[in-house]
Structure 1
Amino acid sequence: MTARGQRRVGKSYRAYAHLQRAQARRHPDSEHARRFINTENELVTQLTHAGWSVRRALKLLGISRSTWHYRHRPRRSTGVRIPHKIRHQPTAIKPEVVHAIQTRIKKAWAQGDSVNEAYATAWDEGVMLASVRSWWRIAARMDNAVRPARAQRATRTAGTSRRPCVQASGPNQAWCWDITNLPGQYRGVTFKAYVVMDMFSRKIIAAYVHERESAQSAVELFAQAIAAEGCVPAVVHADNGSAMRSMALQEFFAGCQVKSSFSRPRVSNDNPFSESLFKTLKYRSDYPGVFTDLEHARAYIKRVVDWYNTQHHHSGLGLFTPVSVHDGSWVAQQKRRQDVLDAYREKHPDRFHRAPVAAGPAEQVGINLVGVQ
């Protein structure tokens, strides 16, 4: 071993000097750093006095030209460096506004709603405090003690086969449906929740809970849904369950001139709207987890369907409710939101690089539309 700073036998000067310069950068005020830098400067001076150019001398010693330049012409000192996060930001949200946003977020969390729900509710009330991204940043900084606990559920892996393709550009063009289990209080007891949803507006067209899964119950549900809407969809998408594939239901669809579409086996993403809906319904804070009887399950589904259709500000619909998209009332609501945004921009023009636009629902939605013209 050699003493610290001492050159090792067999090590080239360039390699040795490279390490010493790195150490000098880490400890610029040390005696060793000053001694090494002075030695290198003296070597360059001696070589230039011997007729070498500065560039040639630097190349021989392995010193970059920029290092030599800043060694003799140090960069201007920046003074005390202030971290970016504590610098004064002229467009920063004021503390009282942050507090108001936190209050609304806490209230939404207490009711089992998301940050998007809190933001959209305030927006519809004519209150624009900050952008939705700012709301999420403020929520991320809030204490974990006030956050709602999130349950973790297992997910499936997908298989491979021919994928279905369904698209809709308006309400009642395409429906999707599925059946989910609602666990009872005894082992082996589950209640079957049948849910039919419009693919474009995400409105739940019909929903009912039965004790068991059957084709006849599915036929009755669709008969009620068609009667309630006063029209039939062009296509109904579902997975490959026995009720979905049943002859009774297919004959009913054929009589109504409705085309059937089915998911690939074990590919839940082929029915994403229904899967997303069930997760929303089952991850609510008021979800019982276990249902005492059939009436309990029916009461919960009835209540949560009403909330989902009329109160849920859907992130996939520009934070409009499914009912407003289904009946077209979102257009007037979007105009009111745009007026609120314009007023907010006039109040804080330095927070915008371009005119803000109130988002609306997508013009076309569907399943597996990637690559479809």
Structure 2
Amino acid sequence: MGAGCRLGVACRELGLSIRTVERWRRVPNGGEDQRRGPKEKPSHALTEAERAEVVRVANEPEYRSCGPKQIVPRLADLGIYIASESSFYRILRQDNLIVPRGACRPRTVIRPEEIIAKGPNELWSWDITYLPAAVKGTFYYLYLFVDVWSRRIMKAEVRATECADAASELIRAAYAEHGVEPDTLRLHSDNGSPMKGGTTLATMQALGIVPSFSRPSVSDDNPYSEALFRTIKYAPAYPRKPFESLEAAWAWVERFVAWYNHEHLHSAIGFVTPDQRHRGADLAVFANRRAVYEAAQQRNPARWSGRTREWDAPAVVPLNPREPETRARASASRRLGAMPATSMAPTEGSRCAPTSHRRQVDEVLAS
């Protein structure tokens, strides 16, 4: 602050609250810790020899791979008491020994690869969910493929079985139906047996589709499919009773897909339909909305303290982003309309190249 920095900026940089600094300033001695603690050492405190014994026992070959919760009862079974479990923890923590001391090692978690979609048919996500059948305990299986960038359902079908052969067949059908070019599509899924089956992987390899998988038991790695399943099963039109037959389930899913793709205004893509976003028709929708709001602002300028609502959608959509850099870049590409010059730079033929999504809206409005 001596160089002219404001208090709020300095506090954000140091991770402090402004109120904390103001409280320190009110204290005459500058806010030093007033606690003094006990004046004398407790009479029942562990001796230095006992502390050394705790460290020695914890590092013996028999106990070096165990925590205090395992060491203390094992010693009790041998008729030995050195210190309490909390004392073990305190001493080992002070000596920086609350770490794996033997062959035991913490689980290594490898984050999945970050994937960024810049346009349609670059990144799809797919999964399978259960639809209850009339017989209790039996289900139909809904296979669902969604474009991550546009949120459009690319393929949906209800089957009586869950297997790699059905998945392979649907992948081929979706690939041909939407005219996907070889070596341009990544297909993300979880680690279920249909997703990693030999038939499925062979089909993707033959079509030039790059597979991508979530970490085991981590549903957050496949968020777009999971979010879509929630939308399906919490929809007001979702049946309260099980489906009477496979045909009934498939008929309901067809109606839902038509509504979702062509009528549902998706909040994550600027409240346009996934089909409009996928085809690029959302630019004209945004331009029209902006024109409406700008006209309203001109009629009653006192009702706006700044700019009108930012009718726009993200130019890029990340899957498994590296926090916080990717989220910040994706957010900036939406607000500022400027594509970063790093890994998110648009490629030739990309949906958002060479201008930003916001600038494209401006061009449509001007025309």
Output the TM-score relative to the length of structure 2: 0.56
Map of 1:341 onto structure 2: 293
**1:344 positional shift:** 1.9
Cα deviation 1:297-330 (Å, max 9, x = unaligned): 1011100000000001000000011000000011
Unaligned segments of structure 2, at least 5 residues: 1-107, 327-342, 344-367
SS of structure 1 residue aligned to 2:135: coil
Map of 1:295 onto structure 2: 247
Cα deviation 1:156-194 (Å, max 9, x = unaligned): xxx954333221000000111000100112222100000
Cα deviation 1:317-346 (Å, max 9, x = unaligned): 000110000000111111111111112212
Give the one of 110, 120, 131 matched to 1:182. 131
The CA distance in 2 between the partners of 1:216 and 1:160, in whole Å, is 31
Segments ≥4 residues shifted beyond 6 Å:
none
Q: Which has the higher helix share?
A: 1
Cα deviation 1:21-48 (Å, max 9, x = unaligned): xxxxxxxxxxxxxxxxxxxxxxxxxxxx
**1:286 positional shift:** 1.1
**1:357 positional shift:** 4.2
The CA distance in 2 between the partners of 1:164 and 1:281, in whole Å, is 28
Map of 1:286 onto structure 2: 237
Contact 2:289 2:311 in 1 (8 A): no
Map of 2:320 onto structure 1: 368
The CA distance in 1 between the partners of 2:239 and 2:232, in whole Å, is 11
The CA distance in 1 between the partners of 2:114 and 2:168, in whole Å, is 24
Contact 2:126 2:145 in 1 (8 A): yes
SS of structure 1 residue aligned to 2:145: strand
The CA distance in 2 between the partners of 1:230 and 1:190, in whole Å, is 32
Contact 1:177 1:196 in 2 (8 A): yes
1:355 to 1:254, Cα distance in 2 relative to 1, 3 A = same
Map of 1:81 onto structure 2: none
**1:257 positional shift:** 1.5
Map of 1:354 onto structure 2: 306
The CA distance in 2 between the partners of 1:205 and 1:228, in whole Å, is 9
Q: Which has the higher contact order (CA 8 A, sep 6+)?
A: 1
The CA distance in 2 between the partners of 1:323 and 1:317, in whole Å, is 11
Give the one of 112, 121, 129 matched to 1:163. 112
Identical counterparts, % of pairs: 37
Give the one of 221, 224, 244 matched to 2:170. 221
The CA distance in 1 between the partners of 2:132 and 2:121, in whole Å, is 31
SS of structure 1 residue aligned to 2:257: helix
SS of structure 1 residue aligned to 2:302: helix
Map of 2:217 onto structure 1: 266
Map of 1:191 onto structure 2: 140
Asked whether 1:201 is paired with 2:150, we answer yes
Map of 1:210 onto structure 2: 159
Contact 2:186 2:210 in 1 (8 A): yes
Map of 2:259 onto structure 1: 307
The number of residue pairs the alignment matches comes to: 215
Contact 1:163 1:368 in 2 (8 A): yes
Structure number with larger C-alpha Rg = 1
Give the one of 145, 164, 172 matched to 2:121. 172
Output the TM-score relative to the length of structure 1: 0.56
Map of 1:241 onto structure 2: 192
The CA distance in 2 between the partners of 1:301 and 1:269, in whole Å, is 24
The CA distance in 2 between the partners of 1:187 and 1:161, in whole Å, is 39
